[in-house]
Amino acid sequence: MSEGVVQAMEADEAIRLLGWGMCAIGPVDFGGVRFWAGVCIDSAVHTHRIRMGMGPVLERDRLTEHLEVPTGSRTIQPAVRLLGCLVGDDDATAAMRAASLLAGYAPRAILVRDKEDLTALAVDAALLDQGIVIIHDGHLRLLTEAGPRVTGLGFDAREWELLETVYAAWLAGTNPTCPGPALHQWSTATR
């Protein structure tokens, strides 16, 4: 990690170790947190959006309007399912704090260097239900599995906005090891 930023290849390997897919989408910035996402793309929804000429809907008010329509009548659905969020930082405490902000949306884990006190780190992660992936001598090792998503009030416009933000990162293909379709093909959602 250079200057606190998780590199794409490290993120991909960590996402695979955690069982969250084959590659990492990101980095994604949402709610003041920068993370990498493991996702499942809903190809039917993505294809529908292509046909409609619709990219990510990033305005929460518009998402709220869509949520007020009965599920079967909605013109759009989320195109991604979030399998997990990976936060990397040179400071493990900062990474844990940031990952905690995503607790209501997906399982989460941190990616840190082996320089940390691993016992104390594992205890803190267990309390927060977070996974830990350690970088040691250039190799990644899964120290603890990530716990489940924290249950909350259910699907809302903020969570949908998060999914749309992750979808936008996938479309942009910001990770060279996991490119999505080029974002310029889609509008930045006006529906």
Instruction: Identify the CA nearest to 160 among candidates 69, 47, 24, 52.
Output: 69
Question: Residue 76: which pLDDT band, with cuts at 50, 70 and 90?
Answer: confident
Question: Residue 181: which pLDDT band, with cuts at 50, 70 and 90?
Answer: low
Mean pLDDT value across residues 80-106: 94
Q: What is the pLDDT of residue 18?
A: 97
Mean pLDDT value across residues 15-40: 93
| pLDDT tens figures, 117-141 | 889 999 999 999 999 999 988 899 9
Mean pLDDT value across residues 2-27: 82
pLDDT of residue 3 exceeding 50: no
Q: How far apart are CA 122 and CA 144, in angstroms?
A: 7
Q: What is the pLDDT of residue 72?
A: 66
Q: What is the pLDDT of residue 187?
A: 39
Mean pLDDT value across residues 164-191: 66
160-186 in b/e form (b: 16+ CB < 10 A) is bbbbbbbbbbbbbebbeebebeebeeb
User: What does the DSSP assignment read for 106-142?
Assistant: S-EEEEEETTS-HHHHHHHHHHHT-EEEEEETTEEEE
3-state helix, strand, coil in the chain (%, to 5): 35, 25, 40
